[in-house]
Structure 1
Amino acid sequence: MDRFLRLGAYVLHPLWMPTLGTILYFVFTPRYVDLDLMRSKLFAVAIITLFVPIIVFFLLRNLGIINSMHLKTAKERKIPLMIQCILLLVIIKLVFDAYDSPELYYFFVGILFSTISALVMVMLKVKVSLHQIGIAGITTFVFLMSIHFKVNVLPWISAFFFFNGWVASSRLHTTSHNYAELIIGLFIGLIPQLIMVNFWL
């Protein structure tokens, strides 16, 4: 059980969530999307939100700004979150368009607001759960897509509810966060997606 709970923090790491959300959009959407365009968009998202942050992490660790990938203190989270905000702005400005792909565009706007909120909490010296923010945000996005596209994705929604519990249990088990930090993270991930849905649902 210990290994299973610890595994949740890696399998459902927040860096995976933007790429996973993009993949699920292309899986669920009933619209025709050119395969080459789909690949290019997905590749761009993976590069900007996954591979670039990993490279930046090693750079920051070598510079002594952060000590580990877990970002155990609020102070360590400040610069990574600032960089993540910039990378999300790049996606919003260059990768997705509000007219061609409103669902994905506002999904990433929601992620940006969640990241800014986490950064504000860091400034207030509150270390909210980035894992809970990520999984709550994508769970909300999947639920809203099911309504928008009128498709039955109940197994996916059920799986993501399980994933939310897995992440929360994992963070509590490893004493990475307390209940308050998890609850705040849940709402920081959920609320921006609910606000942004007014622009595309």
Structure 2
Amino acid sequence: MSLFRNFLTIISMVLALFSAPSLSMADEAELTSLVADLNQKSFNKKGKAVDALVASGDPRVAVIISALSDSNLYIRKSDKKIFITQKGGDGLLLTDAVTGADAGTAAKKALTKIKTNNKLRRKLSAVLGKLTLLNEDDEIRLSAANAVLKSQDQSALETLEQALEQEQNPKIKTVMQTAMAALLVNSDRPIDDKLTALVVA
């Protein structure tokens, strides 16, 4: 199952925030600029654009990153506007990546996919994990823990530690412990930490 489907719950939650009064036009303009930076030829620059999106703290970022990870983020050739897409008939159904508004449909040839590579996809998977490991919803936390386990991205280590300390669901805690062990083994942490993680896992 794709990350996009795994995070449908997140998408539903975040889309509900798109019309919230606290999101000013200035916020929208800033997010539009950050999203536009994803349209880079360099995958390293795309990675930096992802970091900037996460640093913004905007609640819509999880939806955008999930779409990028799942190859559902496209830029329209005519005006360089970026959309989250789904298949629909002979074309693609468009959702404005920034506002969440329905933007109709478009022929696939009118759009260009914002591409990723394996390294960037691993980063996106880890970022999604960090954005969701501390969520109140059990299913979201479980999906996030599995995403971290799959990516084994070291940048998720501190967030995973925090999530593990407060996790009460035995099933989710087991996945988190396994992910923690995998991360610690390949980290620069002291050997005692690594051995402890392996014993617990």
Larger strand share, 1 or 2: 2
**TM (normalized to structure 1)?**
0.31
Which structure has more relative contact order (CA 8 Å, sep 6+)? It is: 1
TM-score, normalization by structure 2:
0.31
More helix by proportion, 1 or 2?
1
